[in-house]
C-alpha cells in the first residue's frame, strides 16, 4: 500500500508531462471546420465579371479547391502565384471573392492572372458566413459531388501543397474516377 | 465666451456620435437587447480566439453580431441562433460547450478532481484519528534510559 503511494506522484507527473508535451505541438489557433462532410452551402451569386449567376450546382462535377480571397487580404497576394501555378498544372480551383470591392477584384485578376475557373462574387459575405469562413485566405476541398471534404486556413505555399495538400486533392481526383 | 460655449456644444455633439457608432442596433422587442448581449457574450470570436464577439473588433465578429441581430429580428430563439453558429464554426464558438461525450471531461473534470481531493483528505484524517495515541507518546524503558543518558550528558557539559 505504502509502496504504491510512493509512485503515485511520479505517475501523476508522467500523465501531466505527456499532455503538456503533446500541447507543445498543437496549434491553438487551428479550428476544425464544422463544414467537413457537409454539402457545399446553397448560394446564388453573380460572378466577379458580372456575366452570369452561379449556384452551388455549378461546383458539382469535378473535385476542386474553393479558395476564399480578397484584395484587402495581404497574404492572399502571397498565395496568388502559387494558385496560378497549380491551375497551370491542371488543378481545378474556384474562387470566392469575399467581402471585396468588385472593381479592385477585377483589377487584381487582370494584373495577377486568374487561376479560378469560376469567380464567385460574395460581396456581402453571406456565402462566407455559411461556409464558416473567419478570415482569408481559406481553401475548401470539395469532391465531385460538391461535398466539402477538407479545409485549409492560411496561405498555401509550395511546401504546404507538396507535403500536405497535394495528396488530399489527388485522393479526391482518384475517387472521382470510375 | 460665446465661442467657448459653441466649442463645448460641438464637442458634446461629437460625444453623442461616437457613442452611437458603438451600438447601432435598434431592437424591436424589449427583451431582445438583453438576449443580444447574452448571446454575443457567450459566443466566441473565431478569428481572435480569446474574445467573445461582443468585445471583438474583428470584421468577422461584426458580421456575426449583425447576423445575431438579424435572427433576433426574425424571432429565432437562443438555441436556434447558437445552433446556427455551431453548424458553421463548430463547438469551438461556444464559451459554454454543449454536454457531449467529448466535453464530459471538461464539465465534470473539476468536480471529479475536487471529489478525489476530498476523499484523500477524509482518508488521511480518519487514519490519523484511528492511529493509537498512547503507544506513540509513551517511551519504552529502553528509550527512557537512553533519554536520561543524553540529558545527563548535557548537564555534565
Cα B72 to chain centroid, rounded: 26
How many residue pairs bridge chain A and chain B with CB atoms within 8 Å of each other?
Answer: 36
Q: Is the ipTM of this complex over 0.85?
A: no
pLDDT at B21: 39
- What span, in angstroms and rounded, lies between the C-alpha atoms of B46 and B78? 19
Task: Give residues 24 to 83 of A whose Cβ lies within 8 Å of B.
Answer: 28-29, 31-35
Parts of chain A with a pLDDT under 50: none
Nearest Cα residue to A134 out of B96, B60, B4: B60
- Check B60 against A134: CB less than 8 A apart: yes
With an 8 Å Cβ cutoff, are A129 and B67 in contact? yes
Look up cell 474556384; give the residue.
A94
Q: Where are the domains of chain A?
A: 34-176
Homologous superfamily of the A34-176 domain (CATH): Glutaredoxin (3.40.30.10)
Domains along chain B with CATH numbers: 2-93 (1.10.8.640), 104-156 (no CATH)
User: Which pLDDT value is given to residue B153?
Assistant: 67
CB contacts of B59 in chain A (<8 Å) are 99
What is the model's pLDDT at position B18? 45
Single out the residue of A169, A137, A142 nearest to residue A38, CA to CA: A142
3-class secondary structure for A50-115?
A: CCCEEEHHHHCCCCEEEEEECCCCHHHHHHHHHHHHHHHCCCCEEEEEECCCHHHHHHHHHHHCCC
pLDDT at B20: 38
Chain A hits for B64, CB-CB cut-off 8 Å, are 129
Phi, psi of A159 (to 5 degrees): -70, -45
Using DSSP bridges, classify how beta strands A64-69 and A53-55 pair: parallel, antiparallel or unpaired: unpaired
pLDDT recorded at residue B97: 80
Residues of B in Cβ contact (< 8 Å) with A135: 47, 60
User: Which residues of chain B have a CB within 8 Å of the CB of A31?
Assistant: 46, 49, 89-90, 92
Answer yes or no: are the C-beta atoms of A48 and A104 closer than 8 Å: no
Helix (H, G, I), strand (E, B) or coil at B97: coil
User: How close A25 gets to chain B, by Cα (Å)?
Assistant: 18
- What is the pTM (predicted TM-score) of this model? 0.72
- Each of the 157 residues of chain B gets a pLDDT tens digit; together they read 677 777 776 666 665 544 433 557 888 778 888 889 889 888 888 887 788 888 888 888 888 898 899 998 888 888 999 999 988 888 888 888 878 887 888 889 999 999 999 999 999 999 888 876 655 567 788 888 888 888 886 655 5
pLDDT in tens, A37-56: 899 999 999 999 988 899 99
Amino acid at each position: 500500500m505504502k509502496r504504491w503511494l510512493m509512485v503515485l506522484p511520479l505517475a501523476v507527473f508522467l500523465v501531466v508531462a505527456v499532455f503538456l508535451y503533446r500541447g507543445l505541438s498543437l496549434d491553438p489557433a487551428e479550428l476544425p471546420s464544422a463544414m467537413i462532410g457537409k454539402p457545399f452551402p446553397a448560394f446564388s451569386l453573380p460572378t466577379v465579371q458580372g456575366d452570369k449567376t452561379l449556384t452551388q450546382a455549378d461546383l458539382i462535377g469535378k473535385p476542386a479547391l474553393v479558395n476564399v480571397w480578397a484584395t484587402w487580404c495581404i497574404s492572399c497576394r502571397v498565395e496568388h502565384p502559387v494558385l496560378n501555378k497549380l491551375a497551370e498544372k491542371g488543378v481545378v480551383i474556384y474562387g470566392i471573392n469575399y467581402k471585396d470591392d468588385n472593381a479592385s477584384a477585377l483589377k487584381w485578376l487582370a494584373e495577377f492572372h486568374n487561376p479560378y475557373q469560376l469567380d464567385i462574387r460574395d460581396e456581402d459575405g453571406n456565402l462566407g458566413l455559411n461556409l464558416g469562413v473567419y478570415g482569408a485566405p481559406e481553401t475548401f476541398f470539395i469532391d465531385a459531388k460538391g461535398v466539402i471534404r477538407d479545409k485549409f486556413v492560411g496561405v498555401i505555399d509550395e511546401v504546404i501543397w507538396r507535403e500536405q495538400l497535394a495528396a488530399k486533392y489527388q485522393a479526391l481526383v482518384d475517387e472521382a474516377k470510375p | 465666451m460665446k465661442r467657448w460655449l459653441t466649442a463645448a456644444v460641438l464637442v458634446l455633439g461629437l460625444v453623442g456620435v461616437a457613442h452611437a457608432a458603438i451600438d447601432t442596433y435598434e431592437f424591436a422587442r424589449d427583451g431582445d437587447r438583453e438576449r443580444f448581449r447574452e448571446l454575443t457574450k457567450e459566443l466566441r470570436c473565431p478569428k481572435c480566439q480569446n474574445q467573445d464577439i461582443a468585445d471583438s473588433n474583428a470584421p468577422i465578429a461584426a458580421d456575426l453580431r449583425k447576423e445575431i441581430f438579424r435572427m433576433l429580428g426574425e424571432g429565432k430563439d437562443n438555441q436556434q441562433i447558437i445552433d446556427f453558429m455551431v453548424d458553421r464554426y463548430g463547438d469551438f464558438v461556444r464559451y459554454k460547450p454543449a454536454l457531449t461525450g467529448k466535453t464530459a471531461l471538461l464539465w465534470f473534470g473539476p468536480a471529479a478532481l475536487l471529489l478525489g481531493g476530498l476523499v484523500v483528505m477524509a482518508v488521511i484524517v480518519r487514519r490519523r484519528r484511528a492511529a493509537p495515541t498512547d503507544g506513540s507518546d509513551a517511551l519504552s524503558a529502553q528509550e527512557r534510559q537512553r533519554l536520561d543518558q543524553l540529558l545527563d550528558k548535557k548537564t555534565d557539559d
